[in-house]
Amino acid sequence: MTPTNAFIGRQPVLNRNQQLIGYELLFRSGVNAQTVSDYAELQADTQVLVNTLNNMGTSWLIGSKLAFINVGASMLASDFLELLPSRRVILEISPHVSPTHELLSRVRYLRSLGFGIALDHFNFEESALAFMEFANYVKLDVQQHDAQQFQQLAARLRSYPVIRIAERVETHEHFHRCKELGLDGFQGFHFAKPETLTTKTLHPTFSTTLELLNLLRLDGEIHEIEQILKRDVALSFKLLRYVNSAAAGLNTTITSFSHAVAVLGYQKLYRWLTLLLVTGSEEAHVPPALQKTAITRGRFMESMGLALGLPADTCDNLFIIGLFSLLDTLFDMPMPQILEHLRLSESIRDALLQQQGQAGLLLQLALACEQEALRTVPELSQQAGLDSQQLNQAHIAALAWVEELGL
């Protein structure tokens, strides 16, 4: 079954000197869609969150800039927000959100985590003012008010410690007026229309995600969690991309599942899996034959590493290389483009892209063993330092392990 496409809109947000400070991320149902259309607010908010975290990744979407993300009342109250990189995300609250005691407490907590807060389409109505003590940014719609009203709004906001951004700036006249009023930032068609970004995405199987959730709920052992992750290419790909992204707030590269689980912790991993579960699609999972080939290849490379007496972390990397070596086929796109979304060590990248180094040689050997003729196997095996018995035992052990998984 072919992968599905994920879409997201992105519009630049500029400072007073017209330098890029961030992007507003917008829901898009398709490549030509320009609005949320008839999608429910929570569904749109959730899809932006999923695409930012899993399908596209924060590094690709926003680089080192800020992400302005619209959130309604339901998403504000959701624990899913805490999966985002708080120091890089500005949560935009619409004027339609009712400032209940619970939501005000929640926004105060999100600010304490490091999230920025923006008040969208701001006016001085009571509901918007209730959130003002938490706001870092205030967005003023230049087309929502006449020139005099807009000037009064901008002037009144000077007494508040917020960054004032003019939105829907579509003409030179709009821009000139806002700049004269001393606004701090701009967003609108005058600078750039929202661009729609798209990427291919794979979905983990429902049963695997559910199995992991149950295991986490029972405080299962890390090695048990690791074994389940090794059975699902899509799930392992998404996990390593997420844990290595800015969303995890890490300064080191994670390449093994056990390390990823230990760093994230059970609570955050459970929350992330829940998000995958509620937004996944059974109609878009990895084709069984390809999944089986990828997992077998990963296990075979890991087994060869063990036979060579390589360190445990190196063997973990070999499993990742074998597992991910079919990502270009699964995504139907070039491997270099896929690896842009996944921060991996140089040795893993060299093995996947150029089949270089010891890991690259073992990948060549694993691929050769899948060919019917097996012509290059003896030479590659000798170069790798494996005799025929070690190679056969590693291959048979990998095949048997995958069969035990019931794939």
Nearest to residue 367, comparing CAs of 308, 297, 283, 272? 297
pTM check: above 0.85: no
pLDDT at res. 34: 46
CATH superfamily of 4-198: EAL domain (3.20.20.450)
Q: Is the pLDDT of residue 39 over 50?
A: no
Residues facing residue 285 across a β-bridge:
203
How sure is the predictor about 67, in pLDDT bands with cuts at 50, 70 and 90? confident
More confident residue, 36 or 7: 7
Give the mean model confidence (pLDDT) for residues 116-122: 95
**Backbone phi, then psi, for 271, in 5-degree steps?**
-65, -40
Please report, rounded to a whole number, the percentage of residues in the chain having pLDDT higher than 90.
33
Query: Taking a C-beta distance cutoff of 8 angstroms, is the pair 25, 52 a contact?
Result: yes
Mean pLDDT of the chain: 82
What is the crossing angle of helices 377-384 and 357-369, to 10°?
150
Alpha carbon distance 316, 306 (integer Å)? 10
Question: Could you report the per-residue pLDDT of 159-197, keeping only the tens digit for each?
Answer: 999 999 999 999 889 999 999 999 999 999 887 777 665
Buried b (16+ CB within 10 A) or exposed e, 301-325: bbbbbbbbebeeebbbbbbbbbbbb
Give the mean model confidence (pLDDT) for residues 342-355: 86
How sure is the predictor about 282, in pLDDT bands with cuts at 50, 70 and 90? very low
How sure is the predictor about 31, in pLDDT bands with cuts at 50, 70 and 90? very low
Residue 252: how many other CB atoms lie within 10 Å: 8
- The least confident of 17-31, 271-285, 375-389 is 271-285
How sure is the predictor about 42, in pLDDT bands with cuts at 50, 70 and 90? low
Question: Could you report the per-residue pLDDT of 325-342, keeping only the tens digit for each?
Answer: 988 887 777 898 888 766
Residues facing residue 91 across a β-bridge:
69, 117
How sure is the predictor about 47, in pLDDT bands with cuts at 50, 70 and 90? low
**Token pair listed for 48:** 């932006």
How sure is the predictor about 106, in pLDDT bands with cuts at 50, 70 and 90? very high
How sure is the predictor about 33, in pLDDT bands with cuts at 50, 70 and 90? very low
pLDDT at res. 91: 94
Q: Is the pLDDT of residue 405 over 70?
A: no
pLDDT at res. 323: 84
pLDDT at res. 4: 59
Question: Could you report the per-residue pLDDT of 234-253, keeping only the tens digit for each?
Answer: 888 888 878 876 555 566 67
More confident residue, 373 or 237: 237
pLDDT at res. 287: 66
pLDDT at res. 57: 56
Which amino acid is it at 182?
G
More confident residue, 326 or 47: 326
- Where do the CATH 3.20.20.450 domains begin and end in the chain? 4-198
- The least confident of 86-90, 278-282, 313-317 is 278-282
pLDDT at res. 311: 92
Give the mean model confidence (pLDDT) for residues 349-356: 94
